[in-house]
C-alpha cells in the first residue's frame, strides 16, 4: 500500500509494470478545492464530470467546499496550459455559480498519474493493493472498486482450506485481478472512443480521429 511508488511489489520484488498509455492518454491532473459562494445552489448531491480542451474536470460538492480538478493528457497540454484551462472552466457558466475571483485565487496541486498495472499482483509474500498494484484514471471511480475487490479476493484466498495457499491459488488470484482491471481499462476507453466531440486535437485523437457523416 505504498502508492504509485510500489515500494515492495515493483521496487523490491521487481515485478514489471505495464502502462496503459497506449489507449488512455490522460497522465496528469491538476487539483484544487474552492469555497462555496452559494451553498444552497452549489451543494449538489452528485459528482459531475465535464469535458474540456484536453481531458475532463471533476466536480465533487462536499459539505464545506467543492473538490475539483482536471485530468488531462500531457501530450496535449503543459502544466501551465492545463492550469489556465481549469481556471477558465471554474470561472465559466459550466459552474453552478460563476465567479472569476474564486477561480483565480484557487490553490492548485499538480499530480502525475501512473496508469497501468503490474503483470502480477501477488509475488511470493507480497500482494500489491490499490495504487501500488495498478490504476486507471479516476473516471467512474474504478480505483475504489479495484482496491475493494483486491482486498476481498485476498481475504477469500487466505481463508480457503484453513490458510493453506498454493501457487495455483496465487496464479488464480493474479489472473482474476488482471482480467478485472483490463475490463475496466476497456470500459473507460469506450468513454472516449464513443465521444462525438472532435473540436480539439485531444478529442480527435482519443475518439479515433475519424468522423463519418450519415
Residues 146-205 pLDDT 10s: 999 999 999 999 999 888 999 999 999 999 999 999 999 999 999 999 998 889 999 999
Residue 128's Cβ-side half-sphere holds a number of Cα atoms within 13 Å equal to: 31
pLDDT band at 207 (very low <50, low <70, confident <90, very high): confident
For residue range 37-71, list pLDDT tens digits in order: 999 999 999 999 999 999 999 999 999 999 999 99
Identify whether the C-beta of residue 202 lies closer than 8 Å to the C-beta of residue 192: no
Count the Cβ atoms, other than its own, within 10 Å of residue 22.
Answer: 9
- Tell me, what DSSP letter sits at residue 30? E
Enclosing H/E stretch for 70: strand 66-72
State the pLDDT at residue 212.
Answer: 53
State the pLDDT at residue 78.
Answer: 97
Q: What phi-psi label fits residue 63: left (phi over 0), alpha (psi between -120 and 50 degrees) or beta?
A: alpha
Cα 205 to Cα 209: distance, rounded to the nearest angstrom:
5
Identify whether the C-beta of residue 34 lies closer than 8 Å to the C-beta of residue 68: yes
Q: Which three cell numbers stand for residue 16?
A: 514489471
Cα 91 to Cα 180: distance, rounded to the nearest angstrom:
38
SS3 call for 26: coil
Identify whether the C-beta of residue 130 lies closer than 8 Å to the C-beta of residue 1: yes
State the pLDDT at residue 141.
Answer: 83
Distances (CA, A) of 49 to 24, 71, 135, 138, 164: 17, 10, 19, 11, 45
Residue 15: partners with Cβ closer than 8 Å, 6 or more residues away:
9, 118, 119, 120, 123, 128
Average pLDDT over residues 74-78: 96
Residue 11 has pLDDT above 90, yes or no: yes
Full-prediction pTM beyond 0.75? yes
Residue 116 has pLDDT above 70, yes or no: yes
Amino acid at each position: 500500500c505504498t502508492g504509485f511508488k510500489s515500494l515492495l511489489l515493483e521496487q523490491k520484488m521487481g515485478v514489471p509494470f505495464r502502462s496503459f498509455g497506449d489507449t488512455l492518454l490522460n497522465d496528469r491532473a491538476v487539483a484544487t478545492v474552492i469555497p462555496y459562494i452559494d451553498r444552497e445552489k452549489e451543494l449538489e448531491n452528485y459528482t459531475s464530470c465535464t469535458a474540456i480542451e484536453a481531458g475532463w474536470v471533476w466536480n465533487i460538492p462536499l459539505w464545506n467546499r467543492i473538490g475539483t480538478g482536471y485530468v488531462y493528457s500531457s501530450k496535449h497540454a503543459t502544466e501551465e496550459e492545463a492550469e489556465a484551462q481549469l481556471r477558465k472552466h471554474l470561472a465559466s457558466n459550466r459552474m453552478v455559480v460563476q465567479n472569476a475571483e474564486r477561480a483565480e485565487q484557487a490553490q492548485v496541486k499538480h499530480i502525475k498519474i501512473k496508469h497501468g498495472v503490474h503483470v502480477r499482483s501477488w509475488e511470493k509474500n507480497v500482494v500489491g493493493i490499490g495504487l501500488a498494484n495498478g490504476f486507471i484514471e479516476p473516471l467512474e471511480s474504478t480505483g475504489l472498486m479495484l482496491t475493494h475487490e483486491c482486498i476481498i479476493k485476498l481475504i477469500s484466498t487466505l481463508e480457503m482450506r484453513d490458510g493453506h495457499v498454493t501457487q495455483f491459488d496465487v496464479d488464480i488470484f493474479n489472473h482474476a485481478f488482471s482480467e478485472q482491471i483490463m475490463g475496466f481499462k476497456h470500459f473507460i476507453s469506450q468513454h472516449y472512443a464513443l465521444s462525438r466531440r472532435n473540436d480539439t486535437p485531444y478529442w480527435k485523437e482519443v475518439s479515433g480521429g475519424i468522423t463519418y457523416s450519415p
